[in-house]
Chain A
Amino acid sequence: MSELVKRVDLIFGEYSDQKYKTLEKTLKRSNDDIIKDILDSGLKGRGGAGFPTALKWKFTMEQPGDEKYVICNADEGEPGTFKDREILTKVPRKVFAGMAICGKVIGAKKGYMYLRGEYRFLLPSLQVELDAYAEMAKEMDIDFTIEVRMGSGAYICGEESALFESMEGKRGEPRNKPPYPTVSGYLNKPTVINNVETFVNVLMICRIGPVQYKKLGTRDSRGSKVFSVSGDTPIAGIYELELGMPLEKFVDEFGDGDTKAVQVGGASGFCVPRKKFKDTIIGFEGVPTGGSMMIFNSSRSMYNVLHNYLEFFEEESCGQCTPCRVGCQQLRKGIEAVKRGDKPITYLEQLMKLSETMKITAKCGLGQSVANSFSSIVTNFKEEMIY
């Protein structure tokens, strides 16, 4: 394998020689110190949205009351994403340690991991690791328990407020925001909800310190990122790479030499065509991603790709708000009609307007982000939509 792209071994690196050593050390530090370190590190959430983790924790810490929750979002449903599964398979202990640190900082006694139903097979091995955690917590007198809750096959439950609803035994329909989870989350109590990978990043910052951590990545995108690479690539799989690299470098490494486009960030992300590889940065300053990188070569029809995404959104929309429920369906029907020739080419522009409307009016991230893939695919591959 070439050395074009620097490999990192932070997330998947070995456990500390002694079980929960970093956690033990960190628990002795003051909350303000820990938050300061995370803030210094520049860590942004790894689920895709990229909110600064330190601020999330700080806001929750500052909330009054002693009933607070830490939730690990393991409802990894974005098409093309499978890195959390790998993290939970290889280094679950790091995730639990990160959650326990969060519990200490914000003053929570209970933590939950919401695991997607499709990953139920992980449950036995996670339970073994959780039992070990519980034993350690008892020995070290840590007042923080962790429990796994299962999802049941709903993409929308990866949206944080829908996830709370689901855990509360309701339909997974997103709530209005504000209030944000830091104020009113699970059971309407202050809650920190982070992606699996974010918790591991926190632990690693606590282990190696923000100075060392900051050496990875760029000014706007600190640290490493676990990428899920799939599609037309000879080496599909999971790779931990530095953030902030140009897409061109990525394609040189992972493409099959005939790459036409890369979908960065899954179905709700952006499609980048070949001519823009050079100027596109993978990271928060360019195109952000929760890890999903789907590569398409020139044998693929981008119409089929878009159609597949729209079918996905149509099915996974919770149906609560009209822009998303009707919009997803109309976008799919619209591109079908243009393809059939029932509608003129100019109809695509109307569909673009519809997707823009959804961006403004949909209640949650699902409906709002349909426009990302829709407009980037339609704009860059207009001919394929028509002929």
Chain B
Amino acid sequence: MVANNNLIKELVEKYGTDRTSLMPILQGVVLQNNYISDSDMTEIAKELDLSAAQVFGTATFYSFLDTIPRGRFVIRICKTITCDMHGKKLIIQALENMLKIKVGETTQDKRFTLLETNCLGWCHQGPSMLINNEVYSDLTVDKVHDIIADYMHK
């Protein structure tokens, strides 16, 4: 875990030890590792002079701050009304078939995690999804196949 401690030290150096830096630091950890581990949270608490419970409380509030291990590529499919109307279910089926996992699960090789999320703000081009921070909209089953095939080799 030495590497992770370095990451947190770097983030603290960059953003400072004030509590207002907590969100940027947590986000920094997720950007790097795709989730925040318990030991990360204790470490951050120590650096920011907070209780670990306060850090845990903040981290677990936000749906994009995962506190359980996720794959390298986190897929979030928008499930809000317009994307739903435009065939989100088919997209999820296609993804589940391709990745051989259900929504909420991570592939064996820790490459992909499949999740649903609320409105991504692409209602005019639904269905849409995020892979990490990248947006994919106007999805069709064929398109999803191409996209995932690409990520399989990344």
Contacts and interface: CB of A to CB of B under 8 A. Distances in A.
Contact of B63 (A149, A154, A232, A267): A154
B85 A300 contact: yes
B122 A82 contact: yes
A177 interface: no
A171 interface: yes
Contact of B81 (A167, A236, A309, A316): A309
Interface in A298-332: 300, 304-305, 308-309, 312, 315-316, 318
Contacts of B123: 79-82, 228, 230-231, 236, 294
A166 B23 contact: yes
Contact of B20 (A82, A167, A172, A294): A167
Given A80-B119, A308-B80, A118 B130 contact: yes
A189 interface: no
7 contacts: A79-B118, A79-B119, A80-B81, A82-B124, A117-B64, A154-B61, A169-B19
Interface of B: 18-24, 26-27, 30, 54, 57-58, 61-65, 79-82, 84-85, 117-126, 130, 133-135
A171 B19 contact: no
Contacts of A312: 80, 118-119
Given A167-B23, A305-B81, A316-B118, A153 B64 contact: yes
Interface string A184-209: 00010000000000000000000000
A343 interface: no
A89 to B, nearest CB: 11
Interface of A: 76-82, 85, 116-121, 149-155, 166-173, 187, 228-232, 236-238, 267, 294, 300, 304-305, 308-309, 312, 315-316, 318
B95 to A, nearest CB: 19
Nearest to B25: A169
A308 B84 contact: yes
Contacts of B63: 152-154
Contact of A169 (B58, B117, B120): B58
Nearest to B121: A82
B119 A230 contact: no
